[in-house]
C-alpha cells in the first residue's frame, strides 16, 4: 500500500505538537531516556509489538538507558501521516513508563 508523502509544511506543523520529535532528512526521530537499561529495552519491545500490530516498523537503536526511534515510510520516500500517528503512539508508551 502506497502512502502519500507529506509536505515540509505539513510535517513541521505536526511536529510542533509532538514534543521531542524532529526531522532528520526523510525521517522523524526522537531519543527517549529511561531510568535503567531494562526500562529502555521494555519500551523498545512495546514499540516493536505495536509496530507489528499496525504493520509499520521504525528503526530502533537501543543504548544504555536510551532508545532512539526513527520513523519513515519507505514506499513514499519520506514522512507520511502514518509515521506521525505512530510517533504519537510511541510518545504515549514512553510517558506511561515514567
The CATH number that applies at residue 52 is: 3.30.1360.20
Mean pLDDT, range 26-36, rounded to an integer:
96
Residue 3 lies in a domain: no
Cell of 79: 514522512
Give this prediction's pTM.
0.93
Torsion of CA 75, 15, 29, 57, to 10 degrees: -40
Mean pLDDT, range 63-69, rounded to an integer:
97
Residue 39 lies in a domain: yes
Residue 40 lies in a domain: yes
Residue 78 gets which letter from DSSP?
B
Helices 37-54 and 81-97, interaxial angle, to 10°? 140
Percentage of the chain with pLDDT > 90? Answer: 87
Average pLDDT, the chain: 93
The residue segments making up the domain with residue 80 are: 8-97
Residue 23 lies in a domain: yes
Residue 50 lies in a domain: yes
- Compute the chain's Rg from CA coordinates: 13
| Number of domains making up the chain | 1
Residue 86 lies in a domain: yes
Amino acid at each position: 500500500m502506497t502512502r502519500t508523502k507529506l509536505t515540509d509544511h505539513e510535517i513541521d506543523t505536526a511536529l510542533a505538537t509532538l514534543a521531542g520529535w524532529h526531522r532528520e532528512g526523510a525521517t522523524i526521530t526522537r531519543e527517549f531516556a529511561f531510568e535503567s537499561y531494562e526500562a529502555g529495552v521494555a519500551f523498545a519491545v512495546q514499540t516493536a509489538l505495536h509496530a507489528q500490530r499496525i504493520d509499520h516498523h521504525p528503526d530502533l537503536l537501543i543504548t544504555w538507558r536510551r532508545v532512539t526511534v526513527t520513523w519513515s515510510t519507505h514506499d513514499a520516500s519520506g514522512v507520511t501521516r502514518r509515521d506521525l500517528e505512530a510517533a504519537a503512539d510511541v510518545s504515549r508508551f514512553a510517558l506511561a513508563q515514567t
